[in-house]
Amino acid sequence: MANVSVQQDRIAKAPLRWRELWLKEDWWAIWLGLGIVVVAYAFFAHGGSIRWIAVTPAKWSTWSQLGSHFADNYARYVAQFLVWLAIFTVALTVLGHRARDFVPSFAFLYFLSVAIFAIGQWDKANTYNLEPPLVALVVGMVLSNLIGLPRWLDAGFRVEFYVKTGIVLLGATLPFTLVIWAGPVAILQASIVSIVTFLVIYWVAIALGLDKRPAATLGAGGAVCGVSAAIAIAGAVGAKKEDASIAITVVIIWAIAIIFVLPFAAAYFHLPAGVGGAWIGTSEFADAAGFAAAQTYGDLAGHGAVAGTGDQAIFAYTLIKVVGRDVWIGIWAFVLAIIATTRWERGVPGSNPSAAEVWWRFPKFVIGFVLASLLITAVTSGLSLADYNKIAVPALVGPIKDLRTWAFIFCFLSIGLTTRFGELASAGKRPFIAFSAGAVVNVIVGFLLSAIVFAAHWENLAR
Amino acid sequence: MDHERRHVAPKCRHCRYFRNDAAYLEHSFPGLTGMSSGYGSTRSDDGICVRHDRYLRADASCAEFLSRDLAVVSSPLTAPIPE
């Protein structure tokens, strides 16, 4: 049962306001992510590097090579584990989680992540499509759905926290000039698809006889940022609790399916990495799921299966999904709250929303993403391209990128470990049909915009 | 029966029927932690009204508001609300 204090529950609750800085995981993702970036820069500025702690499994082809790697570097892995454990434990304890549950759970997660990372470094991994994000998902889902894990272990499977921390670290590896150059197109493309998708889901839901509130909740889940958007809009319009649960189920089903389908569909069409990443950014529903798909496509590019680089897929995805879609959730919530309050069925608890809602619902981790990008761009701006690649990449940007990869693997594994299909609310035929109609349109329009209209833009991203 | 009543705005956040603890929400919405979180900014301080079985903004209100801030010796109004 949730660890809720009934006594605390009886005291009038003031808005969080500035207490958000330590009571929302978005801000902790910023503190941890930016903290890592600042420490990395401090080392770099003094001629050093955090490379030692940012250890990753090396490429291998024989078991003895893999064994030698771990034997030679076990101290680095232990140190890295302890650093991750320390910073995550502090953050999650302040957020209200129990350290005695989180510590063993994260140990389990880290051990499994090392194994999955190592699998991805096998020189035959690409041959068998053993991309780490997909392996992590499948392993996680098998463990949680077929074998079963004690519920207290969920304490360490914090999907959103890991992906937000990873996104902040990603900012440090993405030049701010790229955000400026590609941002407007990302916003335009994402806005077109978001509005079209919302309207399709909403009107199909209404045509099927669903109420306006669940229709809007489903629409937001498909159009903006998945489960987080569904929950945000459900609250904004005052949906029934069961409608929010149904929206969560439908989004999860589609998001999981897209992870496995879209990367291979993009490969089938021989889409360059940046174009594939943009398509995934437009058509995947949740950030965490989208990064799994984008990382998979990036890995395909890294192995030469598609043109372009892994970074192009990740950057394109991030620009579309985070800059083009996520940041607008507050506006969606504000507008829909006004519509629900003034034009929909009365008698549902509500009130006119404040415009401040746009800020309070803003996904704050994006601030960390931007700040990390600005910081690293600023401190490396004096370097020539040759020096950037020779000096900054191995000593500064590279280690941060590797730590980002770790955070994403924690996230992908956690998705699988927390997705228990038997516990999801029954989706219901009508909500599923409405959402599916929007999802299909979303995928088609996303493909048209990514692979045709703006193809040259995404293909040349970060070249 | 003594009642100590403090004036609070009749909004859901101050209502006895309103639950917006993040852990409670994660428990109440199966699958929420799979691709989201009760601790994220986008949730703001929304919560569940156990009276109307709705998911609402904390600054929403209705005619059935019942202040959680009542401190009473005994009253049927303070019986724990089934969750």
Q: Say yes or no for a CB contact (<8 Å) between B68 and A360.
A: no
Closest CA to A375 of A92, A88, A30, A122: A30
Pick among B7, B35, B37, B55 to test the A interface (most A CBs inside 10 A): B35
To 10 degrees, the CA torsion angle through A184, A186, A189, A190? -120
Q: Domain range for residue B20?
A: 3-71
Whether B81 is covered by a domain: the verdict is: no
By percentage, how much of chain A surpasses pLDDT 90?
87
Q: How far apart are CA B47 and CA A238, in angstroms?
A: 10
Q: Say yes or no for a CB contact (<8 Å) between A351 and B11.
A: yes
* A40-to-A48, A86, A91, A177, B53 alpha-carbon distances in Å: 9, 17, 20, 21, 48
Query: Where is A434: in which H helix or E strand?
Result: helix A429-448
Asked if the C-beta of A387 comes within 8 angstroms of chain B's C-beta atoms, the answer is no
Q: Say yes or no for a CB contact (<8 Å) between A26 and B35.
A: no
Residues 6+ apart with CB under 8 A from A328: A191, A194, A224
What pLDDT is stored for residue A13 in this prediction?
64
Q: How far apart are CA A219 and CA A413, in angstroms?
A: 27
What pLDDT is stored for residue B79 in this prediction?
42
In tens, the pLDDT along A34-59 reads 999 999 999 999 999 999 999 999 99
What pLDDT is stored for residue B73 in this prediction?
38
Q: Say yes or no for a CB contact (<8 Å) between A252 and B28.
A: no
Q: How many CB pairs under 8 A join A and B?
A: 208
- Within 409-438 of A, beta carbons closer than 8 Å to B belong to 415, 418-420, 423-425
What pLDDT is stored for residue A349 in this prediction?
74
What pLDDT is stored for residue B6 in this prediction?
53
What pLDDT is stored for residue B69 in this prediction?
72
Residues of A within 8 A of B16 (CB-CB) are 10
Catalogue all structural domains in chain A, each as residue range(s) with its CATH number: 20-459 (1.20.1530)
In tens, the pLDDT along A66-119 reads 999 999 999 999 999 999 999 999 999 999 999 999 999 999 999 999 999 999
Closest approach of B75 to chain A, Cα-based (Å)? 14
Whether B67 is covered by a domain: the verdict is: yes
Whether B80 is covered by a domain: the verdict is: no
Q: Enumerate residue ranges in chain A where pLDDT < 50.
A: 1-12
Please state the domain count of chain B.
Answer: 1
